[in-house]
Structure 1
Amino acid sequence: MNHFCLSLIADKKVHRQILLIEKIAKARYAITLEEISDSLNTSLRTLKRDLKEIASMEENLIIRHSAAKVEITDNELVSFVLAEFAEKSPLFIIIKSIFEGKYLSVDEWSDELYISTSTLYRHLNHLKEILASFNLKLQFSPVSLEGREVEIRYFFHYFFYSMDDISQNFRPNRKTAELFEISFQYIMEHSELEGHVCHRSVLYWIMVITKRLELRQNIKISNTAQLQKKELPMTYEAIEKLAFEVLELVPSSDEEITKNEILFLDFVLLDNYVYTEEFSARVIDYDDKKLIKSLFSLVKTYFIDNELEEPTEYNGTYRMDTSKKEVHSIGIFCILK
């Protein structure tokens, strides 16, 4: 389970059991409980109790040997159990429900999840800390997100994108996938772009944007960011047509809202486009050493802050795939923020 999803597990016991499963699964040999105990800083008694509880969920997951060793040989079962952990976790359920427009009070959520209000508050306060890193706040009456729409959309995208490898119940549906295929073909035919996009990321963006528009939650883009439109002639005109002809964006009586939504779509596209080396030269001046150094520092800080492994090669603000001569964008959302 990736770092972000694991951070959403507020229950210490469940958190520990997930780490236990992953520790055994990643071992290249049958591992002893003593080794796991030292690694997780947990007593043998606690680990033995965890093994019994995990066995009650899936008895064939962990193989126990007579020499006090354990191992996991079926990775599919690992995925199944981790998905079950996530799908039953209060915060995963609450976040997905908020995304779908279901807003309940603390007491209502307590009844819905069959947990005490004190336990629920512990989970919600944990979520508050996570949301703070997205510049968002958590409201309790009803339980909902508070903050700028761009931050809320980014949080939902990050949440569902992170869940992709864990549970199928959090993935885009067939309609969203079909909408992506149509949109991609449209952009390739009506813009100057030539290449590929980050398929999975765009799928989740389509899911998030269409749901937020359905809930009438519109974005507000700063005047500074709006000025960037003049610098994006290769896509903006095509995105404007795409919004109305394919995504069926209904023009708002407020022209500013319509303009902001179209511009946001444009930023999303450019943020997820895989640029060829030749094409990227038209977007960024590689001779501007001051700019390259600043953006390089921004990328490095991002990987450190999010505890991610840094790519081995950089070219300015982009990660260079020298075998394919492709350059991957690191994120236009710094403009929006």
Structure 2
Amino acid sequence: MLGVRISSIFSELLAADTPLTSEYLAKVVQVTSRTIRNDMKELELLLSKHGSSIKSIRGKGYQLEIHDEHLFRMMLQEIFRHDELGLGFSPNSPDDRVRFLLKKLLLSDEFIKLDDLADELFISKSTLQNDLQEVKKNFKKYDITIEIRPNYGFRIKGDERKLRFCMSEYLLNRNEVDIIDGAISILPEAEMQSIKSIIIDFVHEFNLEISDISINNLIVHIAIACRRIRNGNHVSIYPGELKEIVHEREYNIAREIVKQVEKSLNVKFPEAEIAYIAIHLLGTKMVTATKMGESQFKALIDNEIYHLTKKIIDAVEEKLKLGIKNDKELQVSLCIHLKPAINRLRYGMNLRNPMLNEIKSYYPVSFQAGVIAGLVLKEELDIDINENEIGYIALHLGAAVERTKMNDRPRRCIIVCASGAGSARLLNYKLQSRFGSKLEILGTTEYYRLSQMSLHSLDFIISTIPISKKLSVPVIEVNTILGGKDIEKIESIFSTADKDTFEYTREELVFLQKKFKTKEEVIHFLGENLQQLGLVDKSFTNSVLEREAVSPTCFGNLVAIPHPIVPQTESTFWAICTLEQPIMWNDKPVQFVCLLNVEKNSSKDLQKMYNILVSIVDSKDLIQQLLKCRTYTDFINVFIKKHPIYK
């Protein structure tokens, strides 16, 4: 329904709450502004038939407008149904063709001739060979190779178990839409529905607590197994693993599931296939422990898991000082999560995390805590942990961080008002009504008495008159009749740290309009400058690159926030680099790089600093303004203009 480029533009417009310039969209999609303008005409033509349009605002950019919610929703549903590539689809872009080829090769049991495939895709053999190089890179992650036989063509070849993982990865709908509704043609739809019904019946019968994503993974796995068994391909399993698995409860459940599938689909599963389904169940089982007593919980969790959890929490607290060390709920939830997670990791299973980008973008401190957890697992168990698993662990750690906020004291302020006690009282009531228990107003005063007061117990001052005198706490100037902009100014206090952004960066740490081509060039450049300033040692750059290898730190919106794998500096600060043109940072374009450094052994509340950083990098408008800056003065002026706390 939509080409990939126009789909990307549409996605950006759909998510934006402010107009987007053609310049911004061109950078995200990696085309010229002129191409964007042409694409906009095509997109506008489509949208005009589906209850929506694109409004062009002079000097500001493009904004999506919805006139008929019903028609618009119908269009979205149609787009999502067509989003996953089917084998009947003729892809145009290189990315589309690579996804098409991955699926084609994974689902083909016969040799495929290069000429036939080139004709099917309406491309030259040389273009196809270039695309196949990218396909090979994707397959290489699973140790899968492309076998070529003269006069026959080519097909994929690899360990059967790894082929399964790869098929599961690339055949699953990327948006986790219900796979049974025809999105994947592994088996006829009736057989897919039958597998789904069988699995759900057993989930209910054995009271298994498995997420929707895990159920979809299991359905796909069994469908893949059926298809390949019918073609004479069987998965192998080590005898030691089989001996261990047959004693698990999940093996008996897997055997019963297989009996029903065999009967329904007329296919015979060997014992290794049953064991493989049991591994899936071991890797997805979850136990609800909130109602368990202490003795029940200890009986469920063995000593290895319990002590591993303690080591993870201790390591996270030592490195990041999040105040979660004594959180009992975290200990329980992490123990329960780690038991099946370790099974997944030991058996090399690939659990997808559809929330990964959101976790990385909006909870960077929690994701970094997850990276530290992964290092502990590597050290203790010699298990490599991928970023999908890191993301799930980060959710548990992030929940603990959020719980610490529930115990935060309210922010304290006084009101300075020159128009009388009545106005001050009205302002007091309005503030209490708007902010409730989050804000504690200690009193009101006239300006001339302010110099006689102690301000040490205050977080900020709310004033209806300008205060030019430099005070030890921030002053927020508002109107006596509190308006929307005034509310924004006050709310910024709750979402940012007491000390402003300028605490974390300075002129010698801001590098603008650089011409680097790769992320490695940027990281080496920033690392060398920090080393020359005596802020880091020689090992710093390698530590940042090591962290990138675990999980790329590009978060969308043209932003990357690289950082060392563990804190290495004596203070918390940012080193910022903007680029003349976006570069590819793994799979995302990046033009704004903030190298984050967190103070070693710090007891400060780091979450507040992260909140400031996230509020900056999540703003498309602010990032676009910062990317245009050519001097440090311009750079700081943009902050002052865009952040209400500075006004």
Larger radius of gyration: 2
How does 1:296-315 map onto structure 2 within 5 Å? 296-297=373-374, 302=385, 304=387, 311-313=394-396
- Report the secondary structure of 1:138's partner residue: strand
Kept after mapping to 2: 8 A contact 1:186/1:242: yes
Distance in structure 2 (CA, Å) of the matches to 1:196 and 1:139: 41
Deviations 1:164-205 (A, max 9, x none): 43985433724322233224434765xxx4333333222222
Check whether the contact 1:99–1:156 (CA below 8 A) recurs between aligned residues: yes
Q: Secondary structure at the match of 2:173?
A: helix
Aligned to 1:285: 302
% identical equivalent positions: 15
Question: Of 115, 125, 138, which residue of structure 2 is paired with 1:117?
Answer: 125
User: Which of 167, 187, 194 is 1:178 aligned to?
Assistant: 194
Match for residue 22 of structure 1 among 4, 7, 11: 11
3-state SS of 2:172 partner: helix
Please give the residue correspondences for 1:224-239 in structure 2 after superposition, counting only pairs within 5 Å: 224-232=240-248, 234-239=249-254
Native 8 Å contact 1:32 1:70 kept in 2: no
Where 1:313 maps in the other structure, the secondary structure is helix
Separation of aligned partners in 1, 2:276 and 2:238: 11
Q: Distance in 2 between matches of 1:309 and 1:237?
A: 28
Question: Structure 1 residues 281, 303: closer, same or farther in 2, change over 3 A?
Answer: farther
1:101 to 108, 118, 127: 108
Q: Is 1:77 aligned with 2:75? A: yes
**Whole-Å Cα distance in 1 between the matches of residues 167 and 238 of structure 2?**
21
1:195 alignment partner in structure 2: 208
Please, which runs of 5 or more residues in structure 2 have no aligned partner?
67-71, 92-96, 313-341, 343-372, 379-383, 404-647
> Do the aligned partners of 1:136 and 1:146 also contact (CA within 8 Å) in 2?
yes
Name the CA distance, whole Å, in 1 between partners of 2:122 and 2:48. Answer: 25
Letter in 2 for 1:65: K
Q: CA deviation at 1:101?
A: 3.2
Q: Which residue of 2 aligns with 1:4?
A: none
Distance 1:281 1:80, change over 3 A: farther
In the superposition, the TM-score normalised over structure 2's length comes to 0.39
CA separation of 1:158 and 1:280: change in aligned 2, threshold 3 A: farther
Q: Which residue of 2 aligns with 1:151?
A: 162
Cα 1:69/1:187, change in 2 over 3 Å: closer
The CA distance in 1 between the partners of 2:143 and 2:300, in whole Å, is 29
Task: Work out the CA distance in 2 between the residues paired with 1:215 and 1:285.
Answer: 42
Shift of residue 289, structure 1, vs aligned partner = 4.9
Is contact 1:58–1:81 with CA below 8 Å preserved after alignment? no
User: Could you tell me how far 1:212 is from its partner in structure 2?
Assistant: 1.6
The number of equivalent residue pairs is 296
CA contact (8 A) 2:103 2:170 kept: no
Q: From the superposition, tell whether residues 176 and 215 of structure 1 become closer, same or farther in structure 2 (CA, over 3 Å).
A: same
Code of the residue aligned with 2:262 in structure 1: it is L
1:218 to 228, 234, 237: 234
Q: 1:116 to 1:78 in 2, by over 3 A?
A: farther
**Counterparts of 2:49 and 2:307, CA distance in 1:** 57
Matched with 1:65 is 55
The answer for the alignment partner of 2:172 in structure 1 is 161
Q: Describe the shift of the 1:162–1:108 C-alpha distance in structure 2 as closer, same or farther (beyond 3 A).
A: same
Query: What CA distance in whole angstroms lies between the structure 2 residues aligned with 1:182 and 1:305?
Result: 28
1:63-121 alpha-carbon deviations (Å, 9 max, x no partner) = 23242524264355345346546533334443444444353111111112221111211
Inter-CA distance 81–38: structure 2 relative to 1 (3 Å threshold): same
Structure 2 counterpart of 1:64, one-letter code: I
Structure 1, unaligned runs of 5 or more: 1-13, 253-257, 323-337
CA contact (8 A) 2:203 2:209 kept: no
Q: Secondary structure at the match of 1:162?
A: coil
Moved more, 49-58 or 266-275: 49-58
Shift of 1:28: 2.0
Decide which moves more: 140-149 or 262-271: 140-149
Q: 2:38: which partner in 1?
A: 49
**Residue 124 of structure 1: SS of its match in structure 2?**
helix
2:223 counterpart letter in structure 1 = M
- Tell me by how many angstroms 1:222 deviates: 2.0
Show the counterpart of 1:268. 280
Query: How large is the RMSD of aligned CA atoms in angstroms?
Result: 3.9
TM-score (norm 1): 0.70
CA distance in 1, matches of 2:285, 2:4: 36
Structure 1 Cα separation of the partners of residues 285 and 32 of structure 2: 48
